[in-house]
Amino acid sequence: MVTPTPRKSKVPNILGDWDDVRFFLAVAKTGSFSAAATQLNTKQTTVGRRIQALERRLGAKLFDRHRHGMEVTPAARGVLVQAESMMSNATAIERHLAGLDREMSGVVRIAAT
């Protein structure tokens, strides 16, 4: 009798798109959807929609909405630390890859008399 190979269970990607993390960081840093929209070069409604979708996927409220702006919830403080680390790593990758394209290579010949 042949025993079937156990299937690997696929871990759901509840975090979603990396851009959602960028939107979260922008709101956390600026304190408002409108300021985050300006920073991200998009519309305030887009920022609100992306944050709402991220909150729904994570199953956690990320911001408390106040008259004076948005405040990160206690549940989101740990997310903020991780998101900042993600941003730092993504920026480092971009810098590294940009530098690779600009590296000089080839043979250099110098002639002198």
Question: For 57-98, what is each residue's pLDDT tens digit?
Answer: 888 999 998 888 899 999 899 889 999 999 899 888 888 888
Q: Tell me, which fold does domain 18-99 have in CATH?
A: Arc Repressor Mutant, subunit A (1.10.10)
Structure-derived torsion over alpha carbons of residues 32, 53, 46, 65, reported in degrees to the nearest 10: -20
Residue type, 45: T
The pTM of the full predicted model, rounded to 2 decimals, is: 0.72
Rounded to 5°, angle at Cα 91 from 41 and 77: 80
DSSP β-ladder status, 69-72 and 63-66: antiparallel
Domain positions in the chain: 18-99
pLDDT tens digits, one per residue of 27-42: 999 999 999 999 999 9
